[in-house]
Amino acid sequence: MSEVIRVQDLQKIYRMGDVEVPALRGINLTIERGEFVAVMGSSGSGKSTFMNIIGCLDRPTGGNYWLEGEEVAALSADEWAHIRNKRIGFVFQGFNLLSRTTALENVELPMMYNGFAGKERHRRAVEVLDLVGLGERHDHTPNRLSGGQQQRVAIARALVNKPSLILADEPTGNLDSVTSSEIMGLFQHLNSDQGITIVLVTHEADIAEHAKRQIIFRDGEVISDKPNNQVLVKLES
Protein backbone atom coordinates (compact mmCIF):
# COMPACT_ATOMS: atom_id res chain seq x y z
CA MET A 1 0.00 0.00 0.00
CA SER A 2 1.01 3.61 -0.53
CA GLU A 3 0.49 6.57 1.75
CA VAL A 4 -2.55 8.76 1.19
CA ILE A 5 -2.07 10.90 4.31
CA ARG A 6 1.03 11.59 6.35
CA VAL A 7 1.28 14.27 9.02
CA GLN A 8 4.39 15.14 10.96
CA ASP A 9 4.43 17.23 14.14
CA LEU A 10 1.08 18.72 13.09
CA GLN A 11 0.06 21.64 15.29
CA LYS A 12 -2.87 24.03 15.42
CA ILE A 13 -3.09 26.95 17.82
CA TYR A 14 -6.10 29.25 17.97
CA ARG A 15 -5.43 32.76 19.24
CA MET A 16 -8.10 34.64 21.14
CA GLY A 17 -6.65 38.03 21.93
CA ASP A 18 -3.58 37.35 24.05
CA VAL A 19 -4.66 33.80 24.82
CA GLU A 20 -3.36 30.82 22.83
CA VAL A 21 -5.49 27.68 22.73
CA PRO A 22 -3.68 24.61 21.35
CA ALA A 23 -6.05 22.36 19.39
CA LEU A 24 -3.43 19.95 17.99
CA ARG A 25 -0.16 19.23 19.78
CA GLY A 26 2.33 17.63 17.40
CA ILE A 27 0.34 14.87 15.67
CA ASN A 28 2.31 12.18 13.81
CA LEU A 29 0.46 9.53 11.82
CA THR A 30 0.10 7.89 8.42
CA ILE A 31 -3.00 6.58 6.63
CA GLU A 32 -2.40 4.14 3.80
CA ARG A 33 -4.39 3.71 0.61
CA GLY A 34 -7.35 1.41 1.15
CA GLU A 35 -7.66 1.98 4.90
CA PHE A 36 -10.94 2.66 6.71
CA VAL A 37 -10.13 4.79 9.76
CA ALA A 38 -12.41 6.10 12.49
CA VAL A 39 -11.19 9.22 14.29
CA MET A 40 -12.76 9.52 17.74
CA GLY A 41 -12.71 11.89 20.65
CA SER A 42 -14.92 14.04 22.83
CA SER A 43 -15.76 17.68 22.10
CA GLY A 44 -12.56 19.73 22.17
CA SER A 45 -10.31 16.71 21.63
CA GLY A 46 -8.92 18.01 18.31
CA LYS A 47 -10.58 15.45 16.02
CA SER A 48 -12.58 18.06 14.05
CA THR A 49 -9.55 20.33 13.71
CA PHE A 50 -7.58 17.37 12.38
CA MET A 51 -10.35 16.61 9.88
CA ASN A 52 -10.46 20.24 8.71
CA ILE A 53 -6.71 20.27 8.11
CA ILE A 54 -6.54 17.00 6.17
CA GLY A 55 -9.58 18.17 4.19
CA CYS A 56 -7.71 21.35 3.18
CA LEU A 57 -10.31 23.47 4.97
CA ASP A 58 -7.91 24.93 7.56
CA ARG A 59 -4.16 25.51 7.79
CA PRO A 60 -1.95 24.07 10.51
CA THR A 61 0.06 26.45 12.69
CA GLY A 62 3.07 24.15 12.43
CA GLY A 63 4.20 20.81 11.10
CA ASN A 64 3.70 19.11 7.73
CA TYR A 65 0.87 17.43 5.85
CA TRP A 66 1.43 15.30 2.75
CA LEU A 67 -1.48 14.14 0.58
CA GLU A 68 -0.38 11.34 -1.75
CA GLY A 69 3.21 12.48 -1.28
CA GLU A 70 2.54 16.17 -2.00
CA GLU A 71 3.11 18.72 0.75
CA VAL A 72 -0.19 20.61 0.75
CA ALA A 73 -0.22 22.67 3.97
CA ALA A 74 1.38 25.73 2.34
CA LEU A 75 -0.47 25.64 -1.00
CA SER A 76 -2.59 28.58 -2.15
CA ALA A 77 -6.35 28.84 -1.63
CA ASP A 78 -6.93 28.10 -5.34
CA GLU A 79 -4.72 25.02 -5.17
CA TRP A 80 -6.63 23.87 -2.09
CA ALA A 81 -9.95 24.32 -3.91
CA HIS A 82 -8.63 22.16 -6.75
CA ILE A 83 -7.59 19.44 -4.28
CA ARG A 84 -10.96 19.52 -2.51
CA ASN A 85 -12.82 19.15 -5.78
CA LYS A 86 -10.59 16.54 -7.45
CA ARG A 87 -8.96 14.49 -4.72
CA ILE A 88 -11.19 14.59 -1.63
CA GLY A 89 -14.83 13.61 -1.33
CA PHE A 90 -16.77 15.02 1.63
CA VAL A 91 -19.76 13.51 3.44
CA PHE A 92 -21.41 15.64 6.13
CA GLN A 93 -23.88 15.01 8.93
CA GLY A 94 -26.50 17.29 7.34
CA PHE A 95 -26.34 15.76 3.81
CA ASN A 96 -26.00 19.26 2.20
CA LEU A 97 -28.16 18.43 -0.82
CA LEU A 98 -29.82 21.05 -3.02
CA SER A 99 -33.49 20.76 -2.15
CA ARG A 100 -34.99 21.54 -5.56
CA THR A 101 -32.77 19.29 -7.65
CA THR A 102 -32.99 15.55 -8.19
CA ALA A 103 -30.62 12.97 -6.76
CA LEU A 104 -29.00 12.68 -10.19
CA GLU A 105 -28.50 16.45 -10.49
CA ASN A 106 -27.08 16.68 -6.97
CA VAL A 107 -24.52 14.03 -7.83
CA GLU A 108 -23.67 15.68 -11.16
CA LEU A 109 -22.88 19.02 -9.51
CA PRO A 110 -19.19 18.44 -8.61
CA MET A 111 -18.47 17.37 -12.18
CA MET A 112 -19.82 20.64 -13.55
CA TYR A 113 -16.94 22.46 -11.84
CA ASN A 114 -14.51 20.05 -13.51
CA GLY A 115 -15.83 20.70 -17.01
CA PHE A 116 -17.30 17.27 -17.75
CA ALA A 117 -19.63 17.08 -20.74
CA GLY A 118 -23.29 16.43 -20.05
CA LYS A 119 -23.31 12.81 -21.24
CA GLU A 120 -20.28 11.92 -19.13
CA ARG A 121 -21.78 13.64 -16.07
CA HIS A 122 -24.98 11.66 -16.52
CA ARG A 123 -23.16 8.34 -17.02
CA ARG A 124 -20.96 8.72 -13.94
CA ALA A 125 -23.81 9.98 -11.75
CA VAL A 126 -25.98 7.00 -12.70
CA GLU A 127 -23.05 4.67 -12.02
CA VAL A 128 -22.41 5.90 -8.46
CA LEU A 129 -26.11 6.13 -7.57
CA ASP A 130 -26.43 2.50 -8.61
CA LEU A 131 -23.36 1.70 -6.51
CA VAL A 132 -24.96 3.14 -3.35
CA GLY A 133 -28.27 1.36 -3.93
CA LEU A 134 -30.38 4.19 -5.39
CA GLY A 135 -30.69 2.91 -8.94
CA GLU A 136 -34.45 3.49 -9.03
CA ARG A 137 -34.49 6.92 -7.38
CA HIS A 138 -32.43 9.04 -9.78
CA ASP A 139 -35.29 11.49 -10.35
CA HIS A 140 -36.29 11.92 -6.69
CA THR A 141 -35.74 15.27 -4.99
CA PRO A 142 -34.51 15.20 -1.35
CA ASN A 143 -38.00 15.71 0.10
CA ARG A 144 -39.03 12.41 -1.49
CA LEU A 145 -36.11 10.52 0.08
CA SER A 146 -35.61 9.22 3.60
CA GLY A 147 -32.67 10.45 5.69
CA GLY A 148 -30.70 7.33 4.88
CA GLN A 149 -31.41 7.71 1.17
CA GLN A 150 -30.35 11.36 1.27
CA GLN A 151 -27.06 10.34 2.89
CA ARG A 152 -26.58 7.75 0.14
CA VAL A 153 -26.98 10.54 -2.42
CA ALA A 154 -24.37 12.56 -0.51
CA ILE A 155 -22.00 9.57 -0.55
CA ALA A 156 -22.55 9.13 -4.30
CA ARG A 157 -21.76 12.83 -4.79
CA ALA A 158 -18.53 12.37 -2.81
CA LEU A 159 -17.54 9.41 -5.00
CA VAL A 160 -18.37 10.81 -8.43
CA ASN A 161 -15.04 12.56 -9.09
CA LYS A 162 -13.18 9.36 -8.09
CA PRO A 163 -11.29 10.99 -5.22
CA SER A 164 -8.25 9.57 -3.45
CA LEU A 165 -9.94 9.98 -0.10
CA ILE A 166 -13.43 10.15 1.42
CA LEU A 167 -13.77 12.29 4.56
CA ALA A 168 -16.99 11.64 6.49
CA ASP A 169 -17.81 14.00 9.36
CA GLU A 170 -20.39 12.46 11.74
CA PRO A 171 -22.24 10.97 8.71
CA THR A 172 -24.79 9.14 10.88
CA GLY A 173 -25.48 12.01 13.29
CA ASN A 174 -28.95 12.73 11.85
CA LEU A 175 -29.95 9.09 11.38
CA ASP A 176 -31.65 6.48 13.56
CA SER A 177 -29.71 3.43 14.71
CA VAL A 178 -30.99 1.06 12.01
CA THR A 179 -30.29 3.52 9.19
CA SER A 180 -26.91 4.36 10.73
CA SER A 181 -25.96 0.69 10.59
CA GLU A 182 -27.00 0.51 6.93
CA ILE A 183 -24.92 3.58 6.04
CA MET A 184 -21.90 2.19 7.87
CA GLY A 185 -22.41 -1.09 6.03
CA LEU A 186 -22.29 0.87 2.79
CA PHE A 187 -19.01 2.51 3.83
CA GLN A 188 -17.59 -0.91 4.71
CA HIS A 189 -18.45 -2.33 1.31
CA LEU A 190 -17.12 0.70 -0.56
CA ASN A 191 -13.87 0.21 1.33
CA SER A 192 -13.61 -3.59 1.03
CA ASP A 193 -15.02 -4.01 -2.49
CA GLN A 194 -13.92 -0.77 -4.17
CA GLY A 195 -10.71 -0.13 -2.20
CA ILE A 196 -11.78 3.41 -1.32
CA THR A 197 -9.83 5.11 1.47
CA ILE A 198 -12.21 6.44 4.13
CA VAL A 199 -11.56 8.61 7.18
CA LEU A 200 -14.58 8.94 9.43
CA VAL A 201 -14.97 11.33 12.38
CA THR A 202 -17.40 10.21 15.06
CA HIS A 203 -17.96 10.41 18.80
CA GLU A 204 -20.00 7.18 18.82
CA ALA A 205 -18.11 4.01 19.72
CA ASP A 206 -20.61 1.71 17.97
CA ILE A 207 -20.15 3.64 14.71
CA ALA A 208 -16.35 3.51 15.02
CA GLU A 209 -16.57 -0.27 15.40
CA HIS A 210 -17.33 -0.52 11.67
CA ALA A 211 -13.89 0.85 10.74
CA LYS A 212 -10.70 -1.20 10.40
CA ARG A 213 -8.65 1.18 12.55
CA GLN A 214 -9.52 3.53 15.39
CA ILE A 215 -7.58 6.67 16.30
CA ILE A 216 -8.60 8.42 19.53
CA PHE A 217 -7.81 12.08 20.23
CA ARG A 218 -7.74 13.75 23.63
CA ASP A 219 -6.61 17.32 24.39
CA GLY A 220 -5.04 17.70 20.96
CA GLU A 221 -3.01 14.49 21.10
CA VAL A 222 -3.43 10.94 19.80
CA ILE A 223 -3.84 8.72 22.85
CA SER A 224 -4.71 5.49 21.00
CA ASP A 225 -4.17 4.17 17.47
CA LYS A 226 -5.04 0.52 16.94
CA PRO A 227 -6.57 -1.90 14.43
CA ASN A 228 -10.17 -2.89 14.93
CA ASN A 229 -11.58 -6.40 14.62
CA GLN A 230 -14.67 -5.79 12.54
CA VAL A 231 -17.51 -7.81 11.08
CA LEU A 232 -18.93 -6.64 7.77
CA VAL A 233 -22.52 -5.46 7.99
CA LYS A 234 -24.88 -6.85 5.37
CA LEU A 235 -25.65 -4.10 2.87
CA GLU A 236 -29.35 -3.54 2.28
CA SER A 237 -30.30 -2.45 -1.23
Q: Which DSSP string corresponds to 137-176?
A: -TT--GGGS-HHHHHHHHHHHHHTT--SEEEEESTTTTS-
pLDDT bracket for residue 154 (50, 70, 90): very high
User: Average of pLDDT values for 3-20?
Assistant: 95
Cα separation, 23 vs 111, in Å, equals 34
Cα gap 214→191, rounded to integer Å: 15
Is pLDDT above 60 for 29? yes
34-53+76-227: CATH topology is: Rossmann fold (3.40.50)
| 8 A C-beta contact, residue 23 and residue 69 | no
Q: What pLDDT is stored for residue 1 in this prediction?
A: 64
For residue 66, give the DSSP letter: E
pLDDT confidence bin for 110, thresholds 50/70/90: confident
What are the structural domain ranges in the chain? 34-53+76-227
pLDDT tens sequence across 38-97: 999 988 899 999 999 999 999 999 999 999 999 998 899 999 998 998 899 999 888 888
Amino acid 93: pLDDT: 86
190-217 average pLDDT score: 93
Mean pLDDT of the chain: 90
Per-residue pLDDT at 237: 36
